[in-house]
Every structure is written in structure tokens, then in C-alpha cells.
Structure 1
């Protein structure tokens, strides 16, 4: 099986599945946004829960699972549907084995969580019920680790970034510090994967902490995905949740002398293609007078040849909306122009009135966009149609 990245059409939200090219087809899910409308068979919204399930493996008990689930930050549009569609709590409490496959909750073998991101988010936002449920589950798994019983499927957790006041000092075996690389997924090293943790970054003082909190602090990872063990750097996938301009400036300041750290073949445009990931200025108020923050643009501008920038958003219109923002789209297109790259939007793929999951396949030659399933079916049907006469 080829490695792949699948972006699900969830409006202005994130839900991205990474599948590796290893023999287990390891599955890493980044965020989830399964809205109520998507669960309603009478609603026109895409059934992204069904799309996700059909791409997931099953364990020996027939339970759908992801090997790891990363919540980039606890906004509602990044965790909606978590309690409804995923099993939380000990696996011994799983009660769906006799249900039809489509109704079984998805098992999360390992959680990737950043307590620092949660702490910053809670200062300025009221957490939704799904975010609170995730936080409880993360804390439960940390306690399992401390109790010496956290090394089993459904109990594992990886902590991304040190928390304040030494709260993660005793978690060395499951802690990844900002700037470190890791290749463990669900407790095992994986030769087809490596990730570099770029954020959250620790604050330098109280003012710095306030700035980072207000700029949608998120986990930022640059994942290196292999097409085979012989080609470990076939694709780099840079994903950063809703991280805004001040955070990208900090990331650039830290890595400007080693910009390859930020190089990507696939970039998930931060905050659903928001202008505020590239600028402090308001697009709706200043329009074309709004100025780009050069350091943030530099951080997001390290496109490798043939790169893709993917906006996980509703269709992008030429108006004053933000996100998604037409000016941000133009900025990414400008970045891609020198790399012969392509800008894509989940809400427009393949058509804005009938979006489908957007799939990027990882091959030995790099990343390539797969044809939409509806387009592929139409092509096959056309080829099979009898000739007239």
C-alpha cells in the first residue's frame, strides 16, 4: 500500500488521515470535525465519518482504529464528533462489538496531546464538550503511564511539548520536547515515519505567553513520510492547526538558519487559509493595504519543487471573508509559483457543490494528487460505454 494523506471536506475545520507505506498501513489522524449535519442521512453534508471509516483498518475483534490521533488544538472545529465516533476510556469498557461495523466506535490506540496548547487555549476560550472529553482521556492515559500500566493499545499517550512549572518533568519516556524528532507510533519505532516537533514553543516571559495564547497556539509538526524504507524522505507534510502570525514568526526566528527544517511537499494552510497566519493586519478592514509579516511568510514559504498547499476550508471567494481568505490564497499561490506547485481547497474538490475527500499519494517520485473517486468512476464508465452505430 502506498503512503497517503487524505483531507476530508469538513468546511472550515480540519480532519486529515495519514496512512504509512509500512506493512500495517499505520493510520495517524490529525484532528476531527464530524459535524451533526454530516451524521444526518437527510442532510446534504458529506458523510465524512463514513469516508473515514472506510479508510481505517480493523483489529482482531473487528474494531476500527487509528494508531495515533493528534489534536492540534482544542477548538470545536478540530474535535467535533470525538465523543460520538471514538471510544474514550479503557478498552475493557468497549461495548460496540456486537453492533454493525458502521456503528462501532473508533479505537484510538495512542493519543498525541499537548497540555501546553490546552492551557493556552483555555485562557481565552470556553472548551467544548468534545475538547473536555479529550482532555479527560489524555489525563487518564498520563495517569496510566505514571501507574505503570500505560503501555497497551488504548492506553498510550505521547506528550508533545513541555508543560509549564515542571508538570511534565516526570514523563520523559513519553515526552517530546520542541525541536526534537520522533519516529514512534503507538509505542513502536516506524522506519516509514519521522516527525519534527516545531511547536508549541515555551514562552520567554508573561507578555510572550499572552501573545502565544492569543495567536491560536497549536501543535506544529513536519512529518517525513517514506514511500519505502529506501526513500525515507519522499514527502514532508507540514501541519500546524490554527497557528497564527506570531507563532510562525517565532518558529522562523528559531529556524531561519536551518530553513530546510520547514521545507514541505504538502502544507496544510494554517487556520483554514486565514490571513492572520501571514499578517497582523485585518483583511476585512484594510483589504489590499494589509501587509504580510515577512518572517511568518518565510516560515510558510519553504515549498519544495512540486509542492501542494491545501486549504481545509469552505470554497474561497473573492470577498472580505477570513477564513478562508482570498488574499492568503494568493500569497500561497505566489509561494508555489517558483516551485511549480499547486494550491488546493477541500471545499472545492472536485466541485464546490459536491466535495469529496482530497487524496495525496506518496510515491518514490514524491507527492501527487489522486483523481477524485467520482471522476475516476466517470472515466471508467465512459471508457466502458458502447460506441454508437
Structure 2
């Protein structure tokens, strides 16, 4: 099966589907608005149907995703969870409801704690939190954890406070850990490196900063294709903002390879606050850019792509998405012969932004359909080998 990454048109929100050569499918966040479910509303794309049309079914007739990665519990990252996805024990899946079956959750408890510190969880986020707890407790109490089945699995990303993630090593992924297992099995077409959330701090001021800067799961996914293990590096980062990116650069500037990407999903829907502490609407062009945050987000391979999962970007004081953030990201990709895309630009609100992965890297297709790349050299003249990509061409 061809590896691919698809970004859904969900306005200011995130929803991306990664399909691996192995056939495994990973959903990164979801933003299924009520208007998207309204058959009489032609203005908002029916992304739930778009998603279902792309999913496999199991022997019980259930549409499923192997993994649901929730990067951040804001509503625009988990909207539609209760309506469209099965929550609860795997054996309780109801054929009459026909909800999408989540074989394995990837979730970070410290991200939820930081969110709850500054703002109450929305109902979908609270449902996710409760389901994550159920799955963790099932693992803790299982006489034989190896017997836990699909629909009850979870990976816990990063450390929690007060040693709460101790004693669950088999389902815990530490910061800076590589892993390549999905649903309890090794997948040779994929590996991932967990970069965030930043670990809990005993310093209250630090925790306050992390909470206010939208602590999120940050992950560098390496997607294999055509016998090349790292044919495409996808950097996904939720809503992580400037203080987090400055800290990432402080930690990784000596060896920034863990921040490299072929495709970057721009943090917080192309918000200026990923790059600056200053308000764009208040300061305009006088807003000060954080060079460290910019450096962290500039580790682009030759011909790399940055995607803004957002409404169309306007030349005004809107944020997100922000026109000045777009300009900064375009500078990054222009310097390496790449491109910048917005999921709802140019009136193409009903299409899925699709990148098909081959051994030479990702090639953009015009939308979610068709029989091949519209422009196989969209990432520059000729094919770009992985050794060439590794050799340089990064913006900073």
C-alpha cells in the first residue's frame, strides 16, 4: 500500500490522516463541526464522510483507525469525538451506532493537566481524558497485559506529575524516545520520536508558562516508502507556542536533526504566537520575532512543505491564521525550494490536501482523488534523494 498523508479542510483546526505502507492508519486530531454533519449545509465540507471513505474495516464490519493521536485538548483538535468515535470498552461497540473504532489512543496526561490549569476541558476533551484513564487502568489491573485487545490499547506520551507514569513502562513513551510499535506490534514502515510535551516542572512559574503556551504533543514521524526508512519526516506539534519552541531550540540547537522535516504542520493553525510573544493585532509589523523559535521551526529538508491547517489567510490583523507567520514560513520553504499550503485556500474548501510518499519523498496531489501526482516534481526539479536531503539545504 502506498504511504500518504492527508490534511482535511476543517477551518481553524487540525485533522490529518497518515496511511503507512503496512496499511496502518494514524489519525492526528479531529475537528468535525456540527455544520459539517448537516447535509443541508453545502458551505462546510463533510469531513466525517471524507474520513470514513478512507478508512479500512475489520472482520466485524467496523470502520477503524489503528491510532488516534490527540496533540492538544482544545475543542478544534477533538471536536466530534463523542459523536463519531466509539468511546468505552471494545466489546461495547454498537453496530447500530456504527462509530469509528479506535484501536489505540496516543495521549499525554500532562498536556491535559496544563490545559485544565487555565481553562475547563470541553466535553469531547473530557470524554477523551476519561477513556484514556479507563485504558490505563485496564493495563494496570490486567493479570496479563499482553491480552489487552484492540479498542482498549493506549500509549502514554511523556511523563506525568508525582510519578503517575511510573510502573507502566510497556505503554509509556518517554521524551526523546524513538518507537515503532503500533497496537502492540512492530511496524517496520514507521518510527516516531517524541519531542514534547516538555516534562513537568516543580517551578510554578514554568508550569504556568507551559500551560499558557498551549503545551502539546510534538512528534517527528519517520514514514517509510519503497524500501527507504525515512522517506518522509512529518513534524506535528499541535498548538505549541513561542516559549515551547524557544525551549526546544535551547535543548536541540547542538544537534537539530530531531526537528528536521519534509512536511511541517504549522503550529496553532499558522498563528503568530508560535513565533512571537507580541500580539499581531496590537503591534502589527512592530511585533518582535523570536529568532530561537524561528530556528526551531526552520529545520527544513530540501523541497520541504509547510501546511497551515486553517481558514484562508487574509492580509489583515487576524490571528490565527496570521499573514506575517505565513510570510515567515514561506521564507523557510522558499530557501529550500519547497512550498507552503493552506488547507482552505483558493476556494478549495471541499478537497483534501494529499501527499503521496515514495522513496524520494512526498509528492503533492491536487486533492484526495485522482490517479497520481499532479506535479511529480512539485518539490523541485527531478527526484530528491534522501542523502541529498540529509546533506543540507536547511533554512537555519
> Which TM-score band applies after superposition, normalised by the shorter structure?
over 0.9
Q: Which residue of 2 aligns with 1:18?
A: 18
Return 5+ residue gaps in structure 1 as ranges. 380-389
Matched, 1:335 2:329: no
Matched, 1:168 2:165: yes
Q: Which residue of 2 aligns with 1:322?
A: 319
Q: CA deviation at 1:365?
A: 1.2
Q: CA deviation at 1:171?
A: 1.0
Match of 1:43 among 38, 41, 44: 41
Task: Map 1:296-307; keep pairs closer than 5 Å.
Answer: 296-307=293-304
Match of 2:343 among 329, 333, 346: 346
Cα distance change of structure 1 residues 374 and 185 upon mapping to structure 2, 3 Å threshold: closer
| 2:54 match: secondary structure | coil
User: 1:346·1:355 contact (CA, 8 Å) conserved in 2?
Assistant: no
Q: CA deviation at 1:160?
A: 0.2
CA displacement, residues 206-242 of structure 1 (integer Å, 9 cap, x when unaligned): 21111101100000000000013x2001000000000
User: 2:9·2:349 contact (CA, 8 Å) conserved in 1?
Assistant: no
Q: CA deviation at 1:329?
A: 0.3
How many residues align? The count is: 368
| 2:244 match: secondary structure | helix
User: 1:197·1:220 contact (CA, 8 Å) conserved in 2?
Assistant: yes
Q: Which residue of 1 aligns with 2:53?
A: 54
Q: Which residue of 1 aligns with 2:358?
A: 363
Q: CA deviation at 1:373?
A: 4.9
Q: Which residue of 1 aligns with 2:382?
A: none
Q: Which residue of 1 aligns with 2:4?
A: 4
* Distance in 2 of aligned mates of 1:207 and 1:319: 33
CA displacement, residues 121-169 of structure 1 (integer Å, 9 cap, x when unaligned): 0011111110010001000000110112652100110000010110111
Match of 1:243 among 224, 240, 245: 240
User: 1:114·1:160 contact (CA, 8 Å) conserved in 2?
Assistant: yes
Which has the higher mean CA deviation after the structures are superposed, 179-188 or 322-331?
179-188
User: 1:224·1:234 contact (CA, 8 Å) conserved in 2?
Assistant: yes
* Distance in 2 of aligned mates of 1:55 and 1:234: 22
Give the TM-score normalised by the residue count of structure 2.
0.91
Matched, 1:139 2:133: yes
Q: Which residue of 1 aligns with 2:276?
A: 279
Q: Which residue of 2 aligns with 1:110?
A: 104
Match of 1:119 among 106, 113, 122: 113
* Distance in 1 of aligned mates of 2:224 and 2:365: 17
| 2:225 match: secondary structure | coil
User: 2:21·2:189 contact (CA, 8 Å) conserved in 1?
Assistant: yes
Cα distance change of structure 1 residues 83 and 373 upon mapping to structure 2, 3 Å threshold: closer
Give the TM-score normalised by the residue count of structure 1.
0.92
Q: CA deviation at 1:376?
A: 7.4
| 1:234 match: secondary structure | strand
| 2:363 match: secondary structure | strand
* Distance in 1 of aligned mates of 2:371 and 2:324: 32
Q: CA deviation at 1:372?
A: 2.0
| 2:294 match: secondary structure | helix
* Distance in 2 of aligned mates of 1:14 and 1:112: 16
Cα distance change of structure 1 residues 353 and 360 upon mapping to structure 2, 3 Å threshold: closer
Match of 1:190 among 172, 187, 200: 187
Q: CA deviation at 1:355?
A: 3.3
Q: Which residue of 2 aligns with 1:156?
A: 153
Q: Which residue of 2 aligns with 1:209?
A: 207
